[in-house]
Structure 1
Amino acid sequence: MAFTNYVVLCGFEHIAKQTSDYWKKNKKTLKGFHLDSTSLPMSLQRIFHEPIRLQVQKYIDVLRKLSCGLIKNPESKPTTDALVTFIDLDKWIQQTLDVASSTKALWSSLGSKLTDLLFLPERRLWEDSNNIPASSGDARLLLFDDSLVIIQGSEASSYKLNIVWMERLIDTSSERNQLKIIVPEEEFIFNMQDPKSMMVWFWKLNQAIRQFLDGKLDFPLWGEGSTENSYNVPACRFAAYTFVNNPRFKAAIYEGDWYKGKPQGSGIMKWPDGRNYAGQYEGGQEHGFGVYITPGGPESFDCYKCHWKMGKMHGYGICEYGNGMIYKGYFQDNQRHGFGILHNSGLKKLAFKYVGHWENDKKTGYGVLDDPDRGERYIGSWLEDCKHGNGIVITQSGLCYEGNFQNNKITGPGTILSEDDSAYEGEFTEDLVLTGKGKLTFSSGYSIEGLFSNKWGSGLKTSGIFSKPPNELDPLITSKLQLGSHITPAKDRWQGIYDQIQEFLKSGSDESSMESFLGFYSENGKEHRKNLKNRVTTTKSPEEFLSCDGPNDATSEKITQNQGNLAEGKQLKQYLKKAFESTHHPLGKLLQTLILVFQDTFSGICMYKRLLSMAQQELVSHANKLFELARYFLPKSLEKEYYSTEGTISEDLNAYTVILPLILPRFYPDLFMLYMLYHEAEDSRYWKGILHLECLSDTKLLEFLEVQKNLWPLQDLHLTSNQRVSIVKDVCFTSAILCFQKISTTADPQEKLDTIMKTYREIERTVTRVLNREYNLPMDDLLPLLVYVVSRAKIQHLGAELHLIRDMMDPSTVGGMNDFLLTALDSCYQHIQKEEIRFSNLPK
């Protein structure tokens, strides 16, 4: 290679010219080297070249003789291999010399401008369209060992061979031979004179590209002895390129994977202005998961970790802005679109958070906003970043109002509920200014109805009618008022979240849509995907999603034909339980998002008892929708559980029996807190009653409750001769008490109902044992015994428990024995709150 580089540089011509006087003075000595004075440069080249080649030929002769002499020797293979290698070397020496000579001739023929642009000492010309014609207008095609050059006039475009692709175009109608050359940003079509020219160009281009990608030259360069592997040029490659004409990528440097002239696979794009993108490409555009960083201001950057579709952000993404804001949600056409959460980092400012729907980068649809500057939370409809439509505002001080908003201002009919449980219903203008007719109801039950004016909280002006409460026995009527009757129905509130999974299902659940829906970043920060290879890449069918991983190791086994409906129901719940617990399953990801929005709506510093009805309706709506979606993810072995023989959903299965028991524990802490706040006053009175009844012994309490003495299980007391019945405590109806205490150990309303039923049976069983005969308790006997059991079980928030059971129980089980027992427990709850229990002198 050093020798041929010297040939290309015209080194021998330079020596012959610069030292001509030296050659004249030493003619006699030089004659011994057989120098031809008429062509001194060629003679010098031959003198330096022949010793090398003659030495190689001597080795060939020696190895050939050895091969013939050792033809029958089993150890002759190394000699034969060496002979083949030296024969190839001899051919290669001659070919490299020919290539160097043709390259030298090219540099001599090109103009100085092109030569200065293209010339490199080690660069070799493999083919020239002036030698084997390949026409494309006035373009000239030069194939070098490292690049392909297309000359048009005085301009030349040079492309590294690792970014050159080619295709043969065969047009049978015109019988033209065409070669299509593909490079980044451009395509060229060259016409060949005949099929032979086409084959030569195609073969040499393949050879040059393959050898450039391999980083080494083959023996021989071309010609006889080539193998079929010489045609195997990979279409997918890794290369670097600076874009020139592409408007989006102009002047940007791309380094990564390519396919037929376009970025495809993994790569990094860097712009001169500081922007860069690292991620997936397809068809020359960002497609798949990628991280895009752009300057957001002085010494700050916006970082987008998103999914992309045909060059635009599309799907799930996490964006960290230079101003401290963070967005987690969905994109469409580079804009926030669909469900998303926008909040600040909370390090320098008070926590700001919007959870809801977006359209074209603006808050539009249903959403929840926590505004720390105003100290309030807004729940309701939005339009182009403004509160617009029906909504609720809750302040940290306890004031709340519900009504219609236009451009962030409440207007028209609405309701205000104050911290002291006063309620106003009437007309509003901007900033809570009361105007026109309205009704103000105080917590005592008294009300004023008439004309009102002035701003709320600034002293009201009114002329109207003052009225007493219609029911003086229940003056705190305003304390039970609930909000949300006029805002978006529960089934439509978070439609944007469900739209994403519907889009995922419509897409065929392929890998790309799976990643876009599931996201790539764990909300708890522990499972952040550190690189592209660690992203979710499953291509399994929906029924195989559970093989990803999850905290439950239980597997979905096949159901045998002899199993009953109860066992099959457990199998279905086991499958769905695992699905809901896995963040790699679409149902698990969906549930995780629903829990997040539920917490952001109903918990925190603005948790409010007047949102209980909204929360309960929303949770039931989620259960119904999840029940409908579950059918799309069931394996075939469980479909017969889900559907009846007529193809409809089995009557025994519904959202209350299948879904609610699985998801309610995840929502339970925040939901039950609302029930506790709602029943705070009643539960407080109830607990005072429990503490007073605690002072009584078992027999005194049974006597106080007027339980018939023939029902007392006195044989359970095991008294000694020195004990009196009145001092023995906590032994009567023990099994029923222990059973009833389990009502607080589960979130499932059906399990709570079962606990109540078991408690009733334990009471009946004890009475039956005392009377030594079957005995069905009438209501007159049951109620005092229930009060006894409830007072001894000491369930701290019984009112909240009973309310939750009624709200969340299966509607098909309403009525009958369940309704009877719940009504009986309500009566017990109300009885324990009575003043004669809380404040009167109980029996000593």
Structure 2
Amino acid sequence: MTTLIRPLKKSSFYMSLDVFPYKSTLSNLLMAFTDLSKKVGSASLELTQILRTGGEITQAYIFTNYQDFSDEFKKYSQSFSDMLAVGGFEYCGKNGSSCLEKAEMTLADLLEEGKGDKGNSSLLFRRIMQFPLKQLKEYSRLANKLSLAYENTSNEFNLLNKISLCWDGLKYSSTMDHSIADNTRAFWEGCSPKIADTLKIPNRRLLKESKASPLALQNAGRFSVHLFLLFNDLFVHVQYASHQVYQLETVWVETPLSDTDQSQNLVVITTPEDTLNLCASTPAEKVEWLMSLNSSINKVLSSQKSVARRGSTERLTPPVVRQAGHKFTKHGIYKDSTYNGYWMNGKIHGKGELVWADGRKYVGKFKNGFLHGPGVMTIPKGEGQEEIQDANWKDGRLHGPTIITYANGDMYEGYFKEGQRSGHGIYRQGRHMADTASIYIGEWDKDTKHGYGVMDDILRGEKYMGMWQDDCRHGNGIVVTLDGMYFEGNFIQNKMSGFGLMLTDDNSCFEGEFSGITQLQGKGTLILPNGDHIEGMFNGSWNEGLKISGTFWKTKTSPSVEKSSHAHGIKSSVYGSLAVPPDNKWGDIFYHCNATLGYSGEGKPDLTKAWESVAVSVSAGRNPKSSNRSRLRGSLLEELEVIPPHSTGKLTLERYTQISNYLKKAFETPFHPLGKLMEDVVNVFRATYIGIGAHPRLLHHAIEEIRSCVAKMYKTVRLLFPDLPPDGGPLQVFSESSKHNTEPFPKSTEEVAKFFQRQVSEISSPEEEEDCEVVSAAGLLHPLLLPKIYPALFDLYALYNDKEDEKCWERIQRLTRQGDMALMAYLGIDQKFWLLGENDPLKKLSSLREQCYAEAVDTLQQLSTALAQQRKLKVLKKNFIEIQRHISADIRFSNMIFGLFQAVQNKLGEDFVWCMDDLFPIFQYIVVRAKIHHLGAEIHLVDDLMESHLEYGELGIMFTTLKACYFQIQTEKMPS
């Protein structure tokens, strides 16, 4: 057979086909013909050799690997059908008749049955190429005859029968394919040239047409003409000179449920951009069209590897959800765009990629034809720049948490509602040192800054913390500047107006009327740093000059300035009253978290819905990536899927421990609603009080903000754990095995003292006291929140206490130059606490003293590294039983007290009774030797965060002693 192909490829016949539009189809046919001839020839030689040597016939390659031969014949049959469908044989017959006539003489013996067709070059070429396929019947007959030589139950018999059936099936399928291809060729020859030029390709077959099987458009005009064509990959609607093409992978076929006369023969075809209501002439015709359409769609979908198939691909109806590509031409929103992804009933649904003609690209989720769910939109802006929207979408618009990176470098991270910025968000404008570099974090409404927010203007060097309206500063607010200025008052359209407060870096204070920052205009009072003040009318700028008409008042010799814990040196009675109340800040952050947990703020929370929301959020955070960090996160999320006891009606120590452990994990992962809440709270606190916001006069506002956030976070936690105290405690909880009942702390001082005495008298052993704990909002949340905001918070304390700490530090450095015995003598420590060595008490300090005091010093030095004070007090529980049930975590020097107490107690005997006259000098010695640079800031922080129920009893005395040591170091006369 190969003797025919070589001359064909080298002859002028093949060269003359350069203009043949389907020359590649002819090349594929000739190549497949050559490969098949070689394979068949090789198999024939092997079979002949086996017959001559008397070997086992079934061991021949043609039988042991019959599937390879079947695939080769299928490949060749497909090439032959493609050539037949496009009329390739007729074209070749016209352009190569002389060459084919020579082939006829060469292959006369093979073409006995076609001798009557001499002179018809196209038929001659077709018969030559069809010759190998006509041998399939002989192959089947040969295998069937060979099987008769074996017993019916033998493996050889079964193998040869299987081979015979395979060749019969291949013969039948190839015959059907050739018939369909011939009908397709006839259709291309009779249809309009426009349709043929547009749709005619070698592997396309016509399966059904409405001329032969009537199918009409419902409610079509009387004189309109419609033709419907079903190909193996297309459904075509022809009307007059135009036609509409529908890819079968994006065609859904259904029938109406109604059994009326008008709808019983109706077939509804849904496509991405059109819906066709078609009527068959009879129910039988309707069934034929339905079967043909569904079968063709199934075959197209089954050829896609990306489509998951269950069971047989020859299903009755195609899947409703499928993956396919489509280019929109008429769609109002997606016109001229290209989509590749999942569909459902003719609409984009599921994950996919959409690319517009103008370069926009979206990759993400869709629902019912709209962008819906998480996705990323990339929008080109020219000159290689682009805008990226990593967001959540709803009905085609931005809705929910969103991150947008603009082409000019700006960035927005926050919430959207119906396509507009709404809710909490952060907008970073301009790159570093740009002309408009600024950062806004706060609330938005309808794409404008609206509500409470903080604006950090980097270039101007000022920060605004207050209310906004329509992108303008409007309402109560605070402004702080890099040069130490502090303003507090009311803003109208970006301008500070009316009564306000100004504090300068030199502690000057002005209370009065403003017409802008530093612009004093109207009645007011100016208090100078030395206490003198001027009352009257002011007009002008503080930085450029003032006109004053008023009265000057000289301060008294010993001015008594009312001071609060956060307002030392601030000579203003309105400080803090003109700012936004802490409970009015960051409300949208907590609203979003509560909404995620199914609570809108009204009515009774739904506990079941809240935990279902947690399960959805945690499951969405699972990531299959195999990195160590991902595996660690996956392990944490698996632990969060185990729900602890949350609504038993009674809070015990064991259940509280389970709740506390769960919250530690929940607040650490942003995929948990509580973790996202913690992340947002930490971000807003850092953005407010870092940089320009690290202003000492903002410390009061920072502490009030922490207390407010803790109270709000606690309310959110109770949506999941309603067994926690409803008012935030403090509440004393006991172990399930304890005889005590859970009870709240008393409020008044007298009740607290009686409560302590009663609890101490009821405790019979240290083991019993370990079966209880004090539960409070601060005790639960401070260890989780404070370590995350500690750097920003402590910077405020360090700046606020800077002068006192520097004075204390200078004195500590001078005192530490003294030797141990000299320092103890100076501080007035009784010699029985010197722990002198027994052999040489005057010259050598004992190792016992070095060990005891060194451990105490090391423990006190942990003030600078311990971020959650509550854990320190657990050591005291074993030694101070009278306050066992009231220990929290707001004092960080307890280990020092315990270590020193235990060491000296062992030295002096168990019956030794401590008194403050003995303890105070020792505290001073430990504080000096610890050399803590910002001791005042540490004490101030502990004092602010200590819960009120811890201020009574021995812990309160010890903390007061430490503060007294700090004051004594600053004021005591230094040794010469």
Bucket of the pairwise TM-score, normalised by the shorter protein: 0.7 to 0.9
Distance 1:68 1:642 in 2: 91
Partner of 1:678: 800
What is the CA distance between 1:227 and its match in structure 2? 7.4
Contact conserved, 1:443 with 1:479, CA < 8 A, in 2? no
Secondary structure of the residue aligned to 1:831 is helix
Contact conserved, 1:288 with 1:512, CA < 8 A, in 2? no
Partner of 1:488: 580
Partner of 1:278: 363
Partner of 1:379: 465
The 10-residue stretch of structure 1 (673-682 or 262-271) with the greater mean CA deviation from structure 2:
262-271
What is the CA distance between 1:813 and its match in structure 2? 2.4
Distance 1:112 1:557 in 2: 70
Which of the numbers 445, 452, 461 marks the counterpart of 2:547?
A: 461
Distance 1:759 1:32 in 2: 112
Contact conserved, 2:486 with 2:697, CA < 8 A, in 1? no
Map 1:785-800 to 2 at 5 A.
785-800=922-937
What is the CA distance between 1:577 and its match in structure 2? 2.0
Q: Deviations over 1:142-162 (max 9, x none)?
A: 101121101233321111222
| Aligned AA (1:599) | R
Which of the numbers 384, 390, 406 marks the counterpart of 2:476?
A: 390
What is the CA distance between 1:808 and its match in structure 2? 0.9
Partner of 1:221: none
Partner of 2:401: 316
Map 1:184-199 to 2 at 5 A.
184-199=272-287
Contact conserved, 1:445 with 1:476, CA < 8 A, in 2? no
**Is the alpha carbon distance of 1:733 and 1:643 closer, same or farther for their aligned partners in structure 2, counting shifts above 3 Å?**
closer
Q: Deviations over 1:235-255 (max 9, x none)?
A: 443332211111221111122
| Aligned AA (1:290) | G
Please tell me whether residue 65 in structure 1 is matched to residue 65 in structure 2: no
Distance 1:805 1:280 in 2: 50
What is the CA distance between 1:606 and its match in structure 2? 4.0
What is the CA distance between 1:317 and its match in structure 2? 2.5
**Is the alpha carbon distance of 1:753 and 1:326 closer, same or farther for their aligned partners in structure 2, counting shifts above 3 Å?**
closer
**Is the alpha carbon distance of 1:653 and 1:280 closer, same or farther for their aligned partners in structure 2, counting shifts above 3 Å?**
same
What is the CA distance between 1:785 and its match in structure 2? 4.9
Partner of 1:806: 943
The 10-residue stretch of structure 1 (193-202 or 227-236) with the greater mean CA deviation from structure 2:
227-236
Distance 1:693 1:15 in 2: 111
Distance 2:113 2:899 in 1: 127
Partner of 1:300: 385
What is the CA distance between 1:426 and its match in structure 2? 0.6
**Is the alpha carbon distance of 1:713 and 1:361 closer, same or farther for their aligned partners in structure 2, counting shifts above 3 Å?**
same
Distance 1:101 1:489 in 2: 85
Contact conserved, 1:315 with 1:517, CA < 8 A, in 2? no
Secondary structure of the residue aligned to 2:502 is strand
**Share of identical aligned residues, percent?**
32
| Aligned AA (2:964) | S
Map 1:322-341 to 2 at 5 A.
322-341=407-426
Contact conserved, 2:273 with 2:331, CA < 8 A, in 1? yes
Partner of 2:6: none
Which of the numbers 596, 600, 607 marks the counterpart of 2:694?
A: 607
Secondary structure of the residue aligned to 1:337 is strand
Partner of 2:605: none
Partner of 1:618: 705
* Higher relative contact order (Cα pairs below 8 Å, separated by 6+ residues): 1
Partner of 2:866: 746
| Aligned AA (1:611) | L
Distance 2:329 2:125 in 1: 43
Distance 2:633 2:542 in 1: 58
Please tell me whether residue 664 in structure 1 is matched to residue 786 in structure 2: yes
RMSD value, Cα: 4.7
What is the CA distance between 1:81 and its match in structure 2? 2.1
Partner of 2:683: 596
Secondary structure of the residue aligned to 1:666 is helix
**Is the alpha carbon distance of 1:229 and 1:463 closer, same or farther for their aligned partners in structure 2, counting shifts above 3 Å?**
same
Partner of 2:299: 211
| Aligned AA (2:267) | L
Partner of 1:539: none
Partner of 1:268: 353
Contact conserved, 1:705 with 1:788, CA < 8 A, in 2? yes
Secondary structure of the residue aligned to 2:235 is strand
Map 1:46-57 to 2 at 5 A.
54-57=134-137
Secondary structure of the residue aligned to 1:716 is coil
Q: Deviations over 1:490-537 (max 9, x none)?
A: 2331122223222322296899999999999xxxxxxxx9xx98699x
Contact conserved, 1:134 with 1:141, CA < 8 A, in 2? yes
Q: Deviations over 1:800-827 (max 9, x none)?
A: 2222122112233233333333333333
Q: Deviations over 1:295-326 (max 9, x none)?
A: 22444211222222222222223222111112
**Is the alpha carbon distance of 1:196 and 1:445 closer, same or farther for their aligned partners in structure 2, counting shifts above 3 Å?**
same
Q: Deviations over 1:683-718 (max 9, x none)?
A: 2232333344445555655555556x5x74255354
Secondary structure of the residue aligned to 1:460 is strand
| Aligned AA (2:580) | T
Map 1:57-206 to 2 at 5 A.
57-70=137-150, 71-136=152-217, 137=220, 139-174=226-261, 176-206=264-294
| Aligned AA (1:82) | I
Contact conserved, 2:148 with 2:157, CA < 8 A, in 1? no
Which of the numbers 492, 505, 524 marks the counterpart of 1:438?
A: 524
Secondary structure of the residue aligned to 1:231 is coil
| Aligned AA (2:958) | L
**Is the alpha carbon distance of 1:355 and 1:104 closer, same or farther for their aligned partners in structure 2, counting shifts above 3 Å?**
same
Contact conserved, 1:572 with 1:638, CA < 8 A, in 2? no
User: What TM-score do the two structures reach when normalised by structure 2?
Assistant: 0.72
What is the CA distance between 1:615 and its match in structure 2? 1.1
Distance 1:510 1:763 in 2: 48
What is the CA distance between 1:382 and its match in structure 2? 1.4
Contact conserved, 2:618 with 2:672, CA < 8 A, in 1? no
Distance 1:634 1:7 in 2: 75
Distance 1:86 1:283 in 2: 48
What is the CA distance between 1:181 and its match in structure 2? 1.4
| Aligned AA (2:255) | R
Alignment length (residue pairs): 802
Partner of 2:973: 837
What is the CA distance between 1:43 and its match in structure 2? 7.6
Distance 1:93 1:293 in 2: 49
| Aligned AA (1:460) | L
Contact conserved, 1:391 with 1:404, CA < 8 A, in 2? yes
Please tell me whether residue 449 in structure 1 is matched to residue 530 in structure 2: no
Contact conserved, 2:324 with 2:340, CA < 8 A, in 1? yes
The 10-residue stretch of structure 1 (743-752 or 357-366) with the greater mean CA deviation from structure 2:
743-752
Distance 1:456 1:408 in 2: 19
Secondary structure of the residue aligned to 2:135 is helix
| Aligned AA (1:672) | F
| Aligned AA (2:553) | S
What is the CA distance between 1:97 and its match in structure 2? 3.7
Contact conserved, 2:598 with 2:613, CA < 8 A, in 1? no
| Aligned AA (1:58) | E
Q: Deviations over 1:100-156 (max 9, x none)?
A: 343344335533443443333542210112222222235432101121101233321
Distance 2:949 2:382 in 1: 60
Partner of 1:526: none
Which of the numbers 304, 329, 344 marks the counterpart of 1:259?
A: 344
Please tell me whether residue 413 in structure 1 is matched to residue 510 in structure 2: no
The 10-residue stretch of structure 1 (53-62 or 423-432) with the greater mean CA deviation from structure 2:
53-62
What is the CA distance between 1:438 and its match in structure 2? 0.9
Secondary structure of the residue aligned to 2:212 is coil
Map 1:687-698 to 2 at 5 A.
687-694=809-816
- Give structure 2 stretches of 5+ with no counterpart: 1-77, 305-310, 600-608, 746-773, 873-888
Q: Deviations over 1:19-41 (max 9, x none)?
A: 999999xxx9999956389x979
Which of the numbers 954, 960, 965 marks the counterpart of 1:823?
A: 960
